[in-house]
Amino acid sequence: MKTSVIRKVLMALSGAFLMFFLLQHLLINLLSVINPDTFNEVSHFMGYNPFIQFLMQPILIFGVVFHLAMGVQLELQNNKARNIKYAKNNANANSTWMSRNMIITGGMILAFLLLHLSDFWIHEMDYKYISGLPEEAGRYWEELHHSMGNPIRVVLYVISFGLLSLHLMHGFQSAFQSVGFNHSKYTPALKKLGTAYAILIPLGFVLVALFHFFTQSH
Ligand code: HEM
C-alpha cells in the first residue's frame, strides 16, 4: 500500500475518534444547560477518574496531535502533486471549497483549541496537579458559566464552531472514502448522517455558549 493511502486511512481513523470525543463532550456540556448539579457530578467524575485521566486523556492528546501532524503532511504532499500534474486545474469544478480548505479550517480549529485549553484545561491541570487544591465537586458549572460571560470569547467561540462545521462537513464523508467504504445503499445514508453531524454538533456547542452568555446574572 502506498504511504499516501496509509496516511489517509490513519487520518480517517483519528478523525473518527475525535468525532466520538466531540459527541461526548457536547453531551456533557448540554447537561450544563439542563441541570447544573448533574453537570457538576459528571465533570467531577471525568476530572478525577483515573481511567479517564490517565488513559483516555493521553489517548485524546495523542489523537489530536496525530491528526494535526498527518493533516499537515497530507497537505504538503497534495501541494506537491498539484504543482506537477495540474497546472491548469479548475479546482471549483473538481472539488468543493471545504475539501480544498481542510488545512485552513483545521488551522483555525487549532487556534480555537489553544484558546479553549488555556481557558479550561490548563486551569484544571493547575488546580489539581500543580497547586494541588482540594477536590470541590460543585465548582465546574460556575467556572464554565463565568468564562462564557466574556462577549469577545463567546464571539470567537461561535466563529470557531462555524469553522468546525465546515471541517466536519467534509471530514465525515471523506473518512468513509479513505477507508474504502463505498456501498450503493449505505453511502447516501452515511452522507446524510455526516451532514447532520456536521451541523448539529457545532450548533449544540453554539447553544451552550449562548445559553451561558445570555443567562449571566450581572
Ligand atoms: C461551548 C462550547 C464548549 C465548552 C463550554 C467547552 C467546555 C470545556 C471544559 C469545561 C473543559 C475542561 C474539562 C476538564 O475539566 O478538563 C473542556 C476541555 C476540552 N475541550 Fe471543550 N468545550 C467546548 C467546545 C469544544 C470544542 C468545539 C472542542 C474541539 C474542537 C473542544 C475540545 C476540548 C478538548 C480537547 C478539551 C480537553 C479535554 C481533556 O480534559 O482532556 N471543546 N471543554
Predicted confidence (pLDDT) per residue in 88-146, tens digit: 556 666 677 777 889 999 999 999 999 999 999 898 899 888 998 888 888 999 999 99
Q: What kind and span of H or E run contains 51? A: helix 50-51
Mean pLDDT taken over the chain: 90
Strand, helix or coil for residue 137: coil
Predicted pLDDT at 72: 92
The residue among 215, 218, 217, 68 whose CA lies nearest residue 154 is 215
What's the 207 CA to ligand 1 centre distance in angstroms? 15
Q: Is the CB of 25 under 6 A from ligand 1?
A: yes
- Ligand 1 center to residue 121 CA distance, Å? 7
CB distance 116 to ligand 1 below 6 Å: yes
Mean pLDDT of 30-46: 97
User: Which of 102, 119, 92, 73 minimizes the C-alpha distance to 163?
Assistant: 102
From the alpha carbon of 140, which atom of ligand 1 is closest? 10
Give the DSSP per-residue string, 13-41. Answer: HHHHHHHHHHHHHHHHHHHHHH-HHHHHH
Question: Which amino acid is it at 58?
Answer: P
Instruction: Please answer whether residues 110 and 68 qualify as being in contact, where contact means their C-beta atoms are separated by less than 8 angstroms.
Output: yes
Nearest-10 crossing angle of helices 3-34, 36-48? 140
Q: How far apart are CA 78 and CA 82, in angstroms?
A: 6
In short, whether 164's Cβ falls inside 6 Å of ligand 1 is yes
- Cα(176) to centroid of ligand 1, in Å? 26
What grid cell was written down for 26? 457536547
Judge whether residue 209 has pLDDT over 80: yes
Decide if 22 contacts 201 (C-beta within 8 A).
Answer: yes
Residue 134 in 3-state DSSP? Answer: coil
From CA 42, how far away is CA 23, in angstroms rounded? 15
Whether the CB of 70 sits within 6 Å of ligand 1: no
Determine which residue's CA is closest to atom 2 belonging to ligand 1: 205
Q: Could you give the CA distance from residue 92 to residue 144 in angstroms, rounded to a whole number?
A: 42
DSSP state of 150: -
What is the dihedral angle through the alpha carbons of 176, 182, 188, 194, rounded to the nearest 10 degrees? Answer: 0
In this predicted model, what pLDDT tens digit does every residue of 139-182 receive, in sequence order? 999 999 999 999 999 999 999 999 999 999 999 888 888 888 88
> Looking at per-residue confidence, does 73 or 93 come out higher?
73
Residue 21 CA to residue 44 CA, distance in Å, equals 17
Q: What is the pTM of this model?
A: 0.90
Q: Where are the domains of the chain?
A: 3-83+103-214
